[in-house]
Amino acid sequence: MAANRGMEQPNIPRSKSGGEAMTASWRLGTIRGIPIGLHWSMALVFALLTLSLATAFFPATHPDQPVAAYWLMAVISAALFFTSILLHELGHSWVAQRNDIPVTGITLFVFGGVAQISGQPKTAPVEFRIAAAGPIVSFALAAIFGLVWLLARDLPYLAAPCAWLSRLNLVLALFNLLPGFPLDGGRILRAAVWQTTGDERRAAQAAMVSGQLMAFALMGLGAIMVFRGNFANGVWLIFIGWFIQNAAMTEATGSTLESTLRGVTVAQAMGPKEPQVPSRLKLRQLIDEHVLPTGQRYFLVVDGDIPRGVVTLRDVAKVPRERWDWASVAEVMIPWNRLSYVTPDTELLAALQMMDDSRVSHLPVVNDNEPCGLLTREEVLHYLRLRMELQSM
């Protein structure tokens, strides 16, 4: 699962279930080069889950045990459950890496986990393998915990957590296999339709419809449970359905963006050559002589033939107005040696990836070591809208 992404600022880093990358509150470490993070909501879930296991579940399934034992089993079980979610996401991530698709991180949050995979699989079989890897890991964990439970049934401190973890991993695998995009089952459905029809866009549309239907079914079931008095579980199902509905929409938007822009180069999307200004230019002159007459917001800073950096209207806005008359562009620009840049032949998707990695809305375009313009998000959005309008004709 993943968070939302709006269409107005197209980015490329994607989770295995769509949407914008979930921001981690705490960094836990790195596994095979993949940063592992924890969202603050997971701490709340851990506390509630531990409390529920220690005060209700384990006392009911294994009575007459010391209270301290219940709390110990609860803490260990909750920790192993989060480890199971992490391994589920690592399953997706490792298969993605084996297929040369970068993974920028994994974040555990209230709805489980999200593997932040940069880009879409190029073929249906790759899509299938990445999607199936998570449930396969969960099924394997269910079997392992179940086997430990069988071998240790006379040891309640070991058997009780293993029985619970076995059932929960089985539920996790089966739930993720529901054919509702962006769940793993929805991605498997997308791969199947893609493989059958050979049309990636039609596959994405079919998967999006399946996700919408699944989301509304979960919300409807949750509403029925609320009306029948099962308030907590009903509300939880409604929230899950709402989350899937939003994630399905944003994933579909992201898939459309990528399929539309695939194969497009920077040269096709960038506008006319951006105006160049000297580094000694005063900010007041920049505003009065360049920004106001042209409406430009980005400028290459060049002295003679030597590129010095890039200055934007946002950089100027950080300087108090009373300093504009004597502060120069050189004082506020981003120096050239701190900039990432692309060439006219760079794929537009790769350029957007670089923008997102650098957290900027523009990139200098260099041809034969000479700056020839700037690529901005606004230009990409304009190009995307034009392409989609032409496709709809």
Which residues are paired to 328 by β-bridges? 282
Which residue in this structure is represented by tokens 């040269």? 267
φ/ψ bin of 42: left (φ > 0), alpha (ψ from -120 to 50), beta (otherwise): alpha
Which residue in this structure is represented by tokens 């995009």? 181
Q: Which of 89, 127, 200, 274 is catalytic?
A: 89
DSSP secondary structure of 308-348: EEEEEHHHHHTS-GGGTTT-BHHHHSEEGGG---B-TTSBH
How far apart are the C-alpha atoms of 153 and 147, rounded to whole Å? 10
DSSP secondary structure of 259-303: HHHTT-BHHHH--SPPPEE-TT-BHHHHIIIIIHHH---EEEEEE
DSSP count for the chain of H helices, then E strands = 15, 11
Helix then strand then coil, in percent of the chain rounded to 5, is 60, 15, 25
How far apart are the C-alpha atoms of 204 and 251, rounded to whole Å? 9
How far apart are the C-alpha atoms of 78 and 47, rounded to whole Å? 9
Strands 276-277 and 112-118 come out as unpaired
| Structural contact between residues 348 and 268, judged by C-beta atoms closer than 8 angstroms | yes
How far apart are the C-alpha atoms of 178 and 189, rounded to whole Å? 10
Does residue 127 carry a catalytic annotation? no
CA quadruple 279, 282, 287, 291: dihedral, nearest 10: -20
Catalytic positions, written as ranges: 89
